[in-house]
Structure 1
Amino acid sequence: MKKLSFCALMSLFAVLVLGLSAPAKAASDAPITVACITTAPHLDVITEDGQIVTLLFFALESLVTTEEDGQGGIRIVPSLAESWKISDDGMTYTFKLKKGVKFHDGTPVTTEDWIWSILRLRDAGPESPWTHLARAVKEVSAPDEETLVISLSEPYAPFLSNLTNPALAVQSKKHFDKVGAEAFRDSPMGTGPYYFAEWELNQRYVLKKNPHYHIEGKPIASEFRFIVVPDDNTRIMQLQAGEVDVVRDLPHNRIDELASYPGLAVDAAPSTEQRFVNFNVTFPPLDDVRVRNALRLATDKQAIIKMVLFGHGSPVFGVFPRVDAFYDKKLKDPGYDVEKARALLKEAGQEKGFKLEMIYSSGNTVLENIATVLKEQWAKIGVDLQLVPLEGPTVSAAFQNLKHQVTMLRWSTDTADPVGLTSFIADYDASHGFHTGWRNARVTELAHAAEKELNEDKRRAMYEEIQQILFDECPLYPLYQNVYPVARKDSVHNFRFSGLSRYVFMDAYKDE
């Protein structure tokens, strides 16, 4: 019989008698398998958007990145740049580069790679959905191998935030020249903690640990395997059966069930995704701001969150998500007030009520349920809302050409700056005011000025005025801010989806 040492006996006594916690299980570098709906025809961050970008964050790194600040906000922190300086006129960004960084194939990163990568995006043209991120770049130069200088054509306040996007990550020019443009679309060569070892369209993506990664001891998991499983129920059954470790794109009506399921856990981070009601303000009587405000007052957001999202969401009052650094906390909830809504309709000469059509994508359960609830709520003020489910492309064609009356669109962002949303609303030619037909000269003026304003307090004042105008004019209004739920085995740790549509994975591991 083996004898226990005195220390071992005392440790056992502490656990059994004193009730102290036993040591945590050791972290394993075992592969982690994720069931998701992510798919894309290629892996080139310059040409692809959508959910595949969330996987490209595993393989690509930029000069700077973002992290949550612990208070519901986002901050920009160093990545492959150790530090940076911005000139007083906001036209020159000077970065001190991290030393010893290598690509996935072990070749060193050079300033030539940085210059090529940034200019490749700037000059990509209409084939890229991301060229706006580099539109202000005039020149990229390198006085030495440890310094990168980016000169802008004009001051552009969101530029540092834009640099967090993987479309502005460094990639290997040598690899591009070797394999050619077409093959490069399927074989990105970056510096990230993982690389794409294999992938098959609509089937799977296998990312393996980068043996040349520049942070010692990181990452932990040896491999991530993303398998494409379009059906919600199938993904969940695979998790419950232990066939996968994590499930993305979790239906709201299954969150509570899976959170209480033995051996599973659910993380639901607040996201930047918001669902809007978008009015076509060129269609009477929606051209009357009193009618639009009446419909907002007749909308019980809390009921929608409870009935459609099963409580997993939060109401918002302005167009910016709460995690945005420029979100105006002074905006007050107009509330759910049927009597005030009726009074506004009477003031607008619409006390007898009227008919409206709401179009939305058929087969989308969330949209169908929201539309059904809105129909019931708006009926209380005499509005007969006709529900018109259509194929997705038909819906898109309608609202893009202002052929709709009411629809429901969403917006999410993956940067820490509101410029994408404000530009989308303010630049009428780009989206007809977020597909509302609404335009406002003051909002356009403020949006363009805010892009160039380097003083944060002045910029904040501009964005707060934009939010107030949009709140008062109500060409659209948010119903809720969504969450990004991820279900996982409770043996998986430190893996979730952040509010900026990115996986948090660097310290992810499974128990041994």
Structure 2
Amino acid sequence: MKKLIASLLAAALLAAGLAGCGGAPASSGGAAASGAASASSGAADAGIAQQIVVARNKDAALVDPTQTSNATDLMTVAWNFEGLVFPANDGTAIEGALAESWDVSEDGLTYTFYLRDGLKFYNGDAVTAEDILYSLNRAIDPEKSIFAGFLTAIAGIECPDDTTVVVTLNAPTPDFLSNFTMPCCAIVQKDSGESGDYKDLVTCGPYYIADWVKDQYMLFKKNPNYYDPSKAVTEEIKVTVVADDSTRLMEFQNGDIDLMMSTPRNNLPQLSADSNYKVEAFDTVTVNYIGFNVEAEAVSSKEVRQALAYATNVDDLIVGANQGYAQRVTTFTDNLDVLRNTGLEGYTHDVEKAKSLLADAGYADGLTLTLSITSGNTTEAQIAAILKEQWAQAGVTLEVTQYDAATLTAMKKNGEYQVGLTNLGRTGPDSALALSFIVYNPITNGMYTGWQNDECESLYLASCSELDVEKRAEMWARMQEIELDEAPLIPTYVNQDVYAMHSNVSGVQYNLFLGILPYTMQKTV
């Protein structure tokens, strides 16, 4: 247990946009990894630009798949790394990637994966059994992988030959196959991951990183040896970093950017109405929350937190801060989650109920709180303005402070805040791994709220080995009831990821768990 907790603590770096564990089919064979439309033409064809420029608001921290620590890194890894299996774009299944198919033994302890013929790394070297063993053993080593704690079900890995991988489990595990889609299980060339330098990592995904100037840009080039050329259409994709929303929008409108990630919500109506641009919205499984440091005296009472939940009109946040590109949630998981407790209605907007709860908590005369948000983030600023107005109706004065992203993250980890905004997603069809960040305190201190509940932790640990689908769902339903009542996090909405692009950009694919994918993205000229 100590080794497990140590690995999970390391995984606390994943503050947002992480990781699912999976209820996948017991035995399956996979199709193409993207699960989406294919393209038959290459970038060399007439009319397709050699390069597309994509802009995002922050750079990747690192690109080692065993150390990937945030949603931005996850997207980067998905572009140039590939594992044996991959979560389908729509979140409904697990598909083959480097593995064409796989079998599962009747006792659920042995998974045998059958790889595609002729697999090569981008440098032209063949993918061998040694590379596979190196990569997967690295993924399960707690000294080398922050995800090792999520793969403790693996008892052994063998490669009888270069195209067969046999994974043995120490017990039947409901989430193994979904966990196996995590980026940490990507295959790299033997020994290429030891230096920590992206230039040394030899990968076999659709693209590889040809150049990286930190906090400026990352240049992806098409892997000439990728097994499915139809999934890498454009020769080069340059991902630039433009942190400020206004600057990013200006560069996009000036034509320096072809596709803009993190599109400011307040500019969406203007961009949608302009025939020079296209706005595409994609559903996500990222739940947004208002989070409380329960160790801060002012919000240590669950009655205060419940009062603030009742004082919050989520519909106003969806319309006012997200231009309608979001859906309300009633529990701490997303609306597509099979583990979601559909019997919970969440907190409805009720100012009088909020006032009553504040009075019961000793704050009949009002309360002053501080909300800490990310500087330069227009959506968070709009949320803060709306909450300030809403909570004032219940007698709460909300002061807003802004910090750069790195400082704010450190403050949350250190418990140096009262109220914050946060989110959590998953990278597989099953959400249990990601939601463990909330219900199992040793991982991320209750998503940096300081919240801990003995019953939730017992239920979570029991659910990790529960193979009965109904019993497992009952455990998670109860955990959601407990969290909703104690309200360390107020679940608000699942937002859509919205991208603005010039009208000559097409083929954009989106994966529910990993974000935008480069496969068929192209620009006509």
TM-score if structure 2 supplies the norm length? 0.83
Residue among 134, 144, 151 paired with 2:161: 144
Query: 2: CA distance between counterparts of 1:63 and 1:420?
Result: 20
Query: Residues 443, 197 of structure 1: CA spacing in aligned structure 2 closer, same or farther, 3 A cutoff?
Result: same
Query: Residues 205, 383 of structure 1: CA spacing in aligned structure 2 closer, same or farther, 3 A cutoff?
Result: closer
Which residue pairs with 2:302 in the alignment?
A: 289
Deviation at 1:333, TM superposition (A): 4.1
Does structure 2 conserve the Cα–Cα contact (< 8 Å) formed by 1:66 and 1:76?
A: yes
Deviation at 1:230, TM superposition (A): 2.8
Does structure 2 conserve the Cα–Cα contact (< 8 Å) formed by 1:31 and 1:221?
A: yes
Query: 2: CA distance between counterparts of 1:225 and 1:386?
Result: 40
Does structure 2 conserve the Cα–Cα contact (< 8 Å) formed by 1:202 and 1:228?
A: yes
Any idea what SS the aligned residue of 2:327 has? coil
Q: Deviations over 1:176-197 (max 9, x none)?
A: 2xxx832753332222122223
Residue among 413, 421, 434 paired with 1:421: 434
Does structure 2 conserve the Cα–Cα contact (< 8 Å) formed by 1:172 and 1:190?
A: yes
Note if 1:39 corresponds to 2:56. Answer: no
Larger Rg: 1
Which residue pairs with 1:172 in the alignment?
A: 189
Which residue pairs with 1:254 in the alignment?
A: 267
Which residue pairs with 2:82 in the alignment?
A: 61
Query: Residues 386, 186 of structure 1: CA spacing in aligned structure 2 closer, same or farther, 3 A cutoff?
Result: same
Does structure 2 conserve the Cα–Cα contact (< 8 Å) formed by 1:484 and 1:497?
A: no
Gaps of 5+ in 2: 1-44
Query: 1: CA distance between counterparts of 2:286 and 2:515?
Result: 13
Does structure 1 conserve the Cα–Cα contact (< 8 Å) formed by 2:142 and 2:148?
A: yes
Query: Residues 241, 340 of structure 1: CA spacing in aligned structure 2 closer, same or farther, 3 A cutoff?
Result: same
Which residue pairs with 2:202 in the alignment?
A: 189
Over the matched positions of the two proteins, sequence identity in percent amounts to 32
Any idea what SS the aligned residue of 1:271 has? coil
Letter in 2 for 1:33: V
Letter in 2 for 1:298: A
Which residue pairs with 1:14 in the alignment?
A: none
Query: 2: CA distance between counterparts of 1:87 and 1:458?
Result: 23
Any idea what SS the aligned residue of 1:44 has? coil
Residue among 93, 116, 140 paired with 2:111: 93
Q: Deviations over 1:36-56 (max 9, x none)?
A: 234246432223433133122
Q: How does 1:52-451 map to 2 (within 5 A)?
A: 52-69=73-90, 73-123=91-141, 125=143, 128-173=145-190, 176=192, 181-182=194-195, 185-215=198-228, 217-284=230-297, 286-348=299-361, 350-390=363-403, 392=405, 395-451=408-464
Q: Deviations over 1:268-309 (max 9, x none)?
A: 212233321222334456444333222211111111222222
Query: 2: CA distance between counterparts of 1:28 and 1:159?
Result: 41
Gaps of 5+ in 1: 1-24
Deviation at 1:171, TM superposition (A): 0.9
Deviation at 1:251, TM superposition (A): 1.0
Which residue pairs with 2:38 in the alignment?
A: none
Query: 1: CA distance between counterparts of 2:196 and 2:295?
Result: 47
Any idea what SS the aligned residue of 2:426 has? coil
Which residue pairs with 2:476 in the alignment?
A: 463
Query: 1: CA distance between counterparts of 2:231 and 2:189?
Result: 22
Deviation at 1:199, TM superposition (A): 2.7
Query: Residues 31, 395 of structure 1: CA spacing in aligned structure 2 closer, same or farther, 3 A cutoff?
Result: closer
Query: 1: CA distance between counterparts of 2:61 and 2:301?
Result: 44
Query: 1: CA distance between counterparts of 2:405 and 2:233?
Result: 41
Letter in 1 for 2:309: R
TM-score if structure 1 supplies the norm length? 0.85
Query: 1: CA distance between counterparts of 2:422 and 2:49?
Result: 41
Does structure 1 conserve the Cα–Cα contact (< 8 Å) formed by 2:104 and 2:111?
A: yes
Any idea what SS the aligned residue of 1:452 has? coil
Does structure 1 conserve the Cα–Cα contact (< 8 Å) formed by 2:314 and 2:328?
A: yes
Q: Deviations over 1:229-255 (max 9, x none)?
A: 333333333333333321112111112
Q: CA RMSD in A?
A: 2.8
Any idea what SS the aligned residue of 1:161 has? helix
Query: 2: CA distance between counterparts of 1:113 and 1:401?
Result: 39
Does structure 1 conserve the Cα–Cα contact (< 8 Å) formed by 2:87 and 2:427?
A: no
Any idea what SS the aligned residue of 1:296 has? helix
Query: Residues 453, 488 of structure 1: CA spacing in aligned structure 2 closer, same or farther, 3 A cutoff?
Result: same
Q: Deviations over 1:365-406 (max 9, x none)?
A: 433332332222222222233434456555445443444333
Query: 2: CA distance between counterparts of 1:63 and 1:456?
Result: 25
Query: Residues 391, 442 of structure 1: CA spacing in aligned structure 2 closer, same or farther, 3 A cutoff?
Result: same
Q: Deviations over 1:316-341 (max 9, x none)?
A: 11111223342333321432111222
Any idea what SS the aligned residue of 2:199 has? coil
Deviation at 1:117, TM superposition (A): 0.1
Q: Deviations over 1:200-256 (max 9, x none)?
A: 222322222222221254422222222233333333333333333211121111122
Query: Residues 156, 29 of structure 1: CA spacing in aligned structure 2 closer, same or farther, 3 A cutoff?
Result: farther
Any idea what SS the aligned residue of 1:272 has? coil
Letter in 2 for 1:162: N
Deviation at 1:411, TM superposition (A): 1.9
Does structure 1 conserve the Cα–Cα contact (< 8 Å) formed by 2:83 and 2:181?
A: yes
Query: 1: CA distance between counterparts of 2:109 and 2:471?
Result: 18
Query: Residues 374, 149 of structure 1: CA spacing in aligned structure 2 closer, same or farther, 3 A cutoff?
Result: same
Deviation at 1:141, TM superposition (A): 0.6
Which residue pairs with 1:19 in the alignment?
A: none
Query: 2: CA distance between counterparts of 1:346 and 1:408?
Result: 25
Any idea what SS the aligned residue of 1:103 has? coil
Query: 2: CA distance between counterparts of 1:172 and 1:416?
Result: 28
Which residue pairs with 1:13 in the alignment?
A: none
Any idea what SS the aligned residue of 2:373 has? strand
Larger relative contact order (CA 8 Å, sep ≥ 6):
2
Q: Identify which range, 279-288 or 462-471, moves more after superposition.
A: 279-288
Query: 2: CA distance between counterparts of 1:392 and 1:103?
Result: 35
For these two proteins, the number of residue pairs brought into alignment is: 480
Does structure 1 conserve the Cα–Cα contact (< 8 Å) formed by 2:230 and 2:519?
A: no
Query: 2: CA distance between counterparts of 1:52 and 1:312?
Result: 24
Deviation at 1:118, TM superposition (A): 0.8
Does structure 2 conserve the Cα–Cα contact (< 8 Å) formed by 1:96 and 1:146?
A: yes
Query: Residues 48, 293 of structure 1: CA spacing in aligned structure 2 closer, same or farther, 3 A cutoff?
Result: closer
